[in-house]
Amino acid sequence: MIAITPGDPAGIGPEIVAKAFRDAPDLLRGCFVAGDVAVMRRGAACTAGAGRVSLPVCQIMSPAEAWRAPPRCVPVLQVVPALMPDQLPAFSRVQSAAGAHAAATVRWAANATLRGDVAAMVTAPLHKAALAAAGETFPGHTELLQAEAAAFAGRPVSEMPVRMMLANPELRTVLVSIHVSLRQAIDAVTRTNVLQTLHITHAALSAVLRRAPRIAVAGLNPHAGEDGLFGSEERDAIAPAVADAQAAGLQVSGPYAPDTVFMRARQGEFDVVVAMYHDQGLIPVKYLGVEQGVNVTLGLPLVRTSPDHGTAFDIAGTGTADAASLVAAVQMARAMCA
C-alpha cells in the first residue's frame, strides 16, 4: 500500500491525485489518499471536463480497505480534522490554514510509513510560503520528513542526513545542498558534504539498480575550476571527496565541467550526476520536461517520491493540471519498494 498526500489544498495537488486514480487505475490499485474527504471531493470535481463526470470519492477506515476500492474511485483515509465544504481554503492563495493542513497530512503519512503500516509515501506539492505562514520551520517536504524520521528513531536530525534526487527516464541528479541561498550553497561545498552525498547516492541507487551506480560529480565553477584559475572548490573539496569515495570502492569520477556532464549522463555514460546546488542539478532535469520528473528523498528509512513541480496556483481549480508527473512518482515508489 502507498499513502498519497494531496499537498496544499489551495493548489493543484488534490486534482492531480484524483486524475492519477482516473488515468492509471491499475498502477494506483492499493493506494489511498491520506488527507481530507472534502478536499479530495473538490479536487475530484475538477476532473469533470467535457464528456467526463466527477470521480467518486469514498472514505475508508483503514489503509487495508484501499484494496477493496473500485477502479477509478479515490479512497480517502481521513487523517486530519474533517473540513466542511464551506471551510475549504480558497484556490490559488497562500493561507496558513492550508499550510497547516498539508503539513499534518505529510506527518501522518511519514509516521505510517516509518511504522511499516504502508510501504511508501507519495506527496503532492506543498507551498513553502503557506508552510511558513502556518508557523512551520521547514522550507519543504525534505526537511520536514528528515525531522519526522529523526524523531521516530530517537536521533538528532544531524545524524540523519538526507539528499534530494530528481529523476526522469533520461537523467538523474542528486544535490549536495537543497533549499538554501546560493551563497549558503557555495559554503556547503565541503569535502565532508560532498563525500556524504556520494555515499547516500551510492546506497540508494545500488538498491534501485541492483548494482553499483556510475556516479559523475559536477564541479562548482566554470570548467570545473580550470585547475584553480576559476575557483578552488574543486581542488580543495570536491576532488578530495571523489578520491575518498573511490578509495571506499564507489564508482565515482570527476569533478567534470558542469556545462557538459549532464549531457554525458543523458547519453548513458553515467547513471547519476551529483550536482553542487539546487538549480545546477534541477534545471537540466526540468528542461527535459516536468511531465516525467520525479523528486525522491534519499537517506531516509522510508520511500518517498513526489512530482517534479509545485502547487501551480495559476491554474489551481481550472481542471487543466497534468497528473503525469504524479503517476511517474507512484511508479518510482513502487519500483523502489520492489
Domain span at residue 142 reads 2-160+311-337
As a 3-state breakdown, the chain gives helix, strand, coil percent values, each rounded to 5, of: 45, 15, 40
Q: pTM score, two decimals?
A: 0.91
Q: Are 139 and 114 members of one domain?
A: yes
Contacts of 324 (CB under 8 A, 6+ apart): 291, 292
pLDDT class of 228 with cuts at 50, 70, 90: confident
- Nearest Cα residue to 28 out of 1, 48, 56, 52: 1
Q: Is the pLDDT of residue 53 over 80?
A: no
Q: Mean per-residue pLDDT for 65-90?
A: 94
Tens-digit pLDDT profile for residues 245-276: 999 999 999 999 999 999 999 999 999 999 99
Please tell me whether residues 276 and 197 are part of one structural domain.
yes
Q: Which of 244, 267, 283 represents a domain boundary (last residue)? A: 283
Indicate if 326 and 223 belong to the same structural domain.
Answer: no
154-163 pLDDT, tens digit each = 999 999 999 9
Indicate the pLDDT class of residue 225, thresholds 50, 70 and 90. Answer: confident
Distance between CA atoms of 249 and 241, rounded to whole angstroms?
13
What's the CA gap between 74 and 63, in Å, rounded?
A: 13
Same domain, 140 and 21: yes
Span 203-212, mean pLDDT? 92
- CA of 185: how far to CAs of 197, 201, 241, in Å? 14, 18, 17
Q: Exposed (0-12), middle (13-18) or buried (19+): which is 68, by Cβ within 10 Å?
A: exposed
Q: Same structural domain for residues 43 and 147?
A: yes
154 and 9 in a single domain? The answer is yes
Residues 195 and 224 in one domain: yes
Report how far residue 27's alpha carbon sits from residue 44's, in angstroms, rounded to the nearest whole number. Answer: 18
Residue 118: inside a domain: yes
Confidence of residue 50 (pLDDT cuts 50, 70, 90): low
Cα distance between residue 22 and residue 44, in whole Å: 9
Q: Do 184 and 132 reside in the same domain of the chain? A: no
Whether residue 96 is predicted with pLDDT greater than 70 in this model: the reply is yes
CB neighbour burial string for 77-96, b if at least 16 within 10 angstroms, e if fewer: bbbbeebeeeebbebbebbb
Per-residue buried b or exposed e for 141-152, using 16+ beta carbons within 10 Å of the residue's own CB: bbbbbbbbbbbb
Is the pLDDT at 111 greater than 70, yes or no? yes
Does a structural domain hold residue 200? yes
Q: Are residues 84 and 52 in the same domain?
A: yes
In a domain, 57, yes or no: yes
Same domain, 20 and 127: yes
Domain count, the chain: 2
- Residues 217 and 241: their CA atoms lie apart, in Å, by 10
CA dihedral 325, 329, 330, 333 (to 10 degrees): 170
| 126 and 200 co-located in one domain | no
Taking 90 as the threshold, does the pLDDT of residue 103 lie above it?
yes
Q: Which three cell numbers stand for residue 276?
A: 553542487
Mean model confidence pLDDT for the chain: 95
Tell me what percent of the residues of the chain surpass a pLDDT of 70.
99
Amino acid at 239: A
pLDDT tens digits for range 126-148: 999 999 999 999 988 999 999 99
What CATH number does the domain containing 111 carry? 3.40.718.10
Longest dimension (CA), the chain: 63
Domain ends where: 283, 300, 329?
283
Mean pLDDT across 209-228: 94
Residue 292 lies in a domain: no
Question: DSSP string spanning 127-168?
Answer: -HHHHHHTT---SSHHHHHHHHHHHHHT--GGGS--EEEEEE
- Does 297 fall in a domain? no
Q: Does 289 map to a domain? A: no
